[in-house]
């Protein structure tokens, strides 16, 4: 059972401390409650969490986002280079400058929502989504590692992507464009009629084309990341 102690802080205000045992049997405490009622309610919730197996020691929440972020990023090595690059960029440019010094237990839903709103005023929806995703995934791992009881970045409202306006060429316009392309005429016609993305066309090999059956078999995709081009699966 928890016990409660009254004390006076540096400002001369009365506060309460809760002393309780963690699931491993060690005793710890939580200070700073303004009333005994608040302290009792907090202690009751701790007992419920212990019984349900969802208890998280408050001390574990002292880890900062800056301590967890690089390790999380390193665990994303399974991703394709282009995807990893977008996460790395979002972490370095948007997430770390705002959150790296903040203990994860001190992050509030409203703080994350305010950050998203500020970022949305300066950057596009895709960049905001990626940055918010990086923070959310870092905190997801913290929850799974029992450093946090819940993820405050979950449920944050993100900006909507504006609808993309597609422009289509007529047959004559495509033919004119292919003619102007000179020696790339066949490539332009392939892109314009089959519907391949540029990365798919760039990764094609002669063996991927069945000239007799007039078929193109797609197996790879070429993506340029920085100054390097990577070949990967579709």
pLDDT of residue 23: 78
CB count within 10 Å of CB 116 equals: 20
Residue 172 has pLDDT above 90, yes or no: yes
List CB contacts of 106: < 8 A, sequence separation 6 or more: 61
Q: What is the mean pLDDT of residues 204-215?
A: 86
Q: How confident is the model at residue 234 (pLDDT cuts 50, 70, 90)?
A: low
Long-range contacts of 148-151 (CB under 8 A, 24+ apart): 148/56, 148/60, 148/61, 148/104, 148/105, 149/49, 149/54, 149/56
Please give the mean pLDDT across all residues of the chain: 89
3-class secondary structure per residue, 160-216: CCCCCCCCCCCHHHHHHHHHHCHHHHHHHHHHHHHCCCHHHHHCCCHHHEECCCCEE
Kindly state the helix (H) or strand (E) to which residue 26 belongs, with its residue range.
Answer: none
Q: What is the mean pLDDT of residues 5-11?
A: 92
Residue 52 has pLDDT above 90, yes or no: no
Pairing of strands 14-21, 215-216: unpaired
Q: For the purposes of burial, counting CB atoms within 10 Å of the CB of 50, is it exposed (0-12), middle (13-18) or buried (19 or more)?
A: middle
pTM of the complete model: 0.65
**Each residue's pLDDT tens digit, 153-166:** 999 999 998 888 88
| Cβ(55)–Cβ(147) below 8 Å | no
Residue 230 Rama label (left phi>0; alpha psi -120 to 50; beta)? beta
Q: What is the mean pLDDT of residues 218-233?
A: 76
Domains, the chain, in order of start with CATH, read: 3-55 (3.30.160), 62-144 (1.10.150.130), 166-195 (no CATH), 197-234 (no CATH)
Q: What is the mean pLDDT of residues 107-123?
A: 96
Q: What is the mean pLDDT of residues 31-59?
A: 84
Q: Which two tokens stand for residue 20?
A: 């309780």
Q: Which two tokens stand for residue 147?
A: 């450093």
Residue 121 Rama label (left phi>0; alpha psi -120 to 50; beta)? alpha
**Each residue's pLDDT tens digit, 69-102:** 999 999 987 878 878 889 999 999 999 999 999 9
Percentage, residues of the chain above pLDDT 70: 98
| Cβ(206)–Cβ(221) below 8 Å | no
- 3-class DSSP state for residue 25? coil
**Each residue's pLDDT tens digit, 24-41:** 788 888 888 999 999 999
């Amino acid at each position: 059972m928890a016990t409660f102690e009254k004390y006076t802080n540096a400002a001369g205000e009365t506060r309460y401390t809760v002393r309780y045992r963690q699931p491993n049997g060690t005793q710890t405490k939580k200070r700073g409650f303004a009333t005994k009622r608040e302290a009792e309610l907090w202690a009751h919730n701790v007992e419920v969490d212990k019984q349900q197996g969802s208890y998280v020691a408050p001390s574990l929440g002292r880890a900062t986002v800056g301590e967890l972020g690089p390790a999380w990023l390193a665990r994303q090595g399974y991703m394709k280079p282009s995807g990893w690059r977008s996460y790395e960029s979002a972490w370095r440019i948007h997430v770390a400058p705002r959150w790296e010094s903040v203990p994860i237990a001190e992050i509030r839903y409203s703080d994350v929502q305010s950050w998203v709103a500020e970022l949305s005023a300066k950057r596009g929806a895709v960049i905001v989504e990626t940055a918010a995703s990086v923070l959310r995934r870092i905190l997801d791992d913290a929850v799974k590692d029992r450093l946090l009881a819940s993820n405050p970045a979950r449920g944050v409202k993100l900006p909507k992507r504006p609808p993309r306006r597609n422009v289509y060429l007529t047959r004559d316009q495509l033919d004119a464009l292919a003619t102007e392309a000179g020696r790339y005429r066949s490539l332009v016609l392939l892109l314009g009629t089959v519907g391949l993305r540029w990365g798919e066309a760039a990764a094609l090999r002669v063996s991927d084309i069945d000239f007799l059956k007039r078929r193109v078999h797609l197996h790879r995709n070429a993506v340029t990341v920085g100054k390097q081009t990577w070949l990967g699966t579709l």
